[in-house]
Amino acid sequence: MAYYVGIDVGTGSARAAVIDDQGRWKGHSVKPIKTHHPLHNIYQQSASDIWKNICDAVRTAVSIAGVEPHDIKGIGFDATCSLVVLNKNGKPQSVDIASEFSNDDWNIILWADHRAIDQANRINKTGHTVLQYVGGTISPEMQIPKTLWLKENLPSEKWDSIGHLMDLPDYLTYRSTQNLARSVCSLTCKFSHLPRGVDRGKDQNGDGGWDHDYFRAIGLECLLDGNQLERLGGRVNEEDDVLYAGDCVGNGLTEQAATDLGLLVGTPVGSAVIDAYAGAVATLGASLSNTTETSSSLFTDTQDVLKNRLAIICGTSSCHIAMTPQPLFVPGVWGPYHSVLLPNMWCAEGGQSSTGQLIDYTLHSHPAYQETVKQAANHGCDIYTFLNDHLSRLKEQQNLDYIDLLTQKLHIYPDFHGNRSPLADPTLRGSLVGVTLDQGMDDLALRYLATLQAITCQTRHIVDTMNQHGYTIDTLCLSGGLCRNKVFVQLHADVTRCKVILPEEIDGAVVIGAAILGAKAAVTHSGKDASLWQVMRQLTRAGKVVLPREDDVIQHLYAKRYRVFGELLKDQKKYIDIMGD
């Protein structure tokens, strides 16, 4: 039996998992990673710290799975879309403001870092045609605004010493193979690269998918001198250096990487994807059957399976990914991105900058948080389960039919860290309406519920906007740790009126997606012919299905609550206008 290792680097941890050739979960390990947060909009990480914890996680997961290194036939990576800065020798180079760029331990600008808001605004004011492939508005979370920030803020000698600017997923394949090939996923989604199959205009000069006029317009014309585009991964006329998801990278694990990971030299490494896309790999193709399908139709139904599905990967932030055979342009939704997941399919990516992070903020900032944690521990459960049970008790005390009715006077607008989709406005902020003087556990439970309701109203805003521009989404494929929260899941069904499909392994969908990339690389390495879609369908199966509640009370409640959500947004914009000038 063949086994595959998946490695997922999230915002706060590195996770490794081993799956078998039926997609079954055999062993996993999670290791925390460090984040340096010296200012409110600055978030930095360390490539060395991440690699160390990846290696620890892989060794532990393989040991738990009870398999030998020679049993591992492929390895795949996913990671957050964070910017890794390396010098010309491929070593970490500092992005750390606090040390005046002298501490090379901090060489990653995390996705959540918003230092480049001004640069993003200036890029957007150019109105360049390249921006149509990011929903019309580039985000400060993307790599080109961050690159422009580095050019404008690093001492000139520091800027000149940069050898490579990489998305974190591509850094991990580079660290594993010493091969500089980049992924279509990272370059297209985060580096303003226009891949094969996209009309790139006339001013290309043969440089792959880079639009020279765009770099001149935004102030990065220096990257057009000599071979400077190679910093981003753009060798002239070398499109083979840009790999589809799961393609083999180089010659597999190097001797040093194999030693670090406890695996064999030459183990095939699949071209990586951004973490949200790994969640889509593990969920969008999942069969609703609990048994593995083997019929020939399994491999020919791509469009039929995908046409109504939206993958939502719920973590610190949330990403919403849909695929279509033709490009659909949605204002405020990133993309359409060509071939970033499956060749010749177009992806759109919506998102919420703060979901798990917002829930944590709601809890941690409340005066009753510590007492609630103690009560949850006394009941032998986590705080979310305890609060869900507490809401049920409040419902009974107030003689209500549903916990959803508890927050009729309490409303939250959720853009505490700006809006990613569908408004693409990082300057928006959150709001809380209906506050009382209560500082106890009851009030904490209500704010927690109102936060979940706000997050799901925003998901509906994204779904509605996509459907207004040609999508036909009626099914949500959820993954991520938040899917263990029954209230969170049911709200997604009720508020959006969509069917919700959960993966078999709720906690492991993203890292399983990474392992599937390793499986695809292993198949290619063996000389067999199988697409990533075929491997996805073979190794993924759906778990529980949750349907919207049909009770009129629930439907009317969330119709009204969604209307309030829209009014809160209008009010904020009105206040901004009043206080403007």
CATH number at residue 189: 3.30.420.40
Indicate the pLDDT class of residue 235, thresholds 50, 70 and 90. low
First and final C-alpha spacing in the chain: 67
Per-residue pLDDT, averaged over 378-385, amounts to: 97
Residue at 180 is within a domain: yes
Q: Is 148 left (phi over 0), alpha (psi -120 to 50) or beta?
A: alpha
Indicate the pLDDT class of residue 443, thresholds 50, 70 and 90. very high
What local confidence, expressed as pLDDT, does residue 226 receive?
80
Would you tell me the crossing angle of helices 532-539 and 509-525 to the nearest 10 degrees? 130
Q: Mean pLDDT, the chain, as a whole number?
A: 93
Tens-place pLDDT, residues 88-125: 999 999 999 999 999 999 999 999 999 999 999 999 99
Indicate the pLDDT class of residue 201, thresholds 50, 70 and 90. low
Residue at 203 is within a domain: yes
What local confidence, expressed as pLDDT, does residue 371 receive?
98
Per-residue pLDDT, averaged over 434-441, amounts to: 97
Tens-place pLDDT, residues 54-81: 999 999 999 999 999 999 999 999 999 9
Residue 296 has pLDDT above 50, yes or no: no
Residue at 87 is within a domain: yes
DSSP H helix total and E strand total for the chain: 18, 21
pTM, full prediction: 0.90
Residue 275 has pLDDT above 70, yes or no: yes
Output the DSSP codes for 43-79: EEE-HHHHHHHHHHHHHHHHHHHT--GGGEEEEEEEE
What would you report as the CA-atom Rg of the chain, rounded to the nearest whole angstrom?
Answer: 23
Residue at 62 is within a domain: yes
What local confidence, expressed as pLDDT, does residue 1 receive?
86
Task: Name which of 4-18, 26-40, 165-179, 279-293 the model is least confident about.
Answer: 279-293
Residue at 456 is within a domain: no
Residue 14 has pLDDT above 80, yes or no: yes
Tell whether omega for the bond before 32 is within 30 degrees of 0, i.e. cis. no
> Do 116 and 312 form a contact (C-beta atoms < 8 A)?
no
Residue at 222 is within a domain: yes
Residue at 194 is within a domain: yes
> Do 340 and 348 form a contact (C-beta atoms < 8 A)?
no
Residue 294 has pLDDT above 50, yes or no: no
Element (H, E) at 514: helix 509-525
Tell whether omega for the bond before 336 is within 30 degrees of 0, i.e. cis. yes
What local confidence, expressed as pLDDT, does residue 286 receive?
85
Residue 289 has pLDDT above 70, yes or no: no
- What residue numbers bound the domain in which 89 lies? 3-261
Measured over the CA atoms of residue 552, residue 553, residue 558 and residue 563, the dihedral's sign is positive
Residue 175 has pLDDT above 50, yes or no: yes
What local confidence, expressed as pLDDT, does residue 291 receive?
38
Residue at 511 is within a domain: no
- CA-based angle 30:32:33, to the nearest 5? 130
Tokens representing residue 442 in the block = 């009851």
Residue 359 DSSP SS3: helix
Tens-place pLDDT, residues 456-507: 999 999 999 999 999 999 999 999 889 999 999 999 999 999 999 999 888 7
94, 384, 389 from 381: Cα distances, Å: 41, 8, 10
What local confidence, expressed as pLDDT, does residue 481 receive?
86
Please state the domain count of the chain. Answer: 1
Q: Which amino acid is at 155?
A: P
Residue 202 has pLDDT above 80, yes or no: no
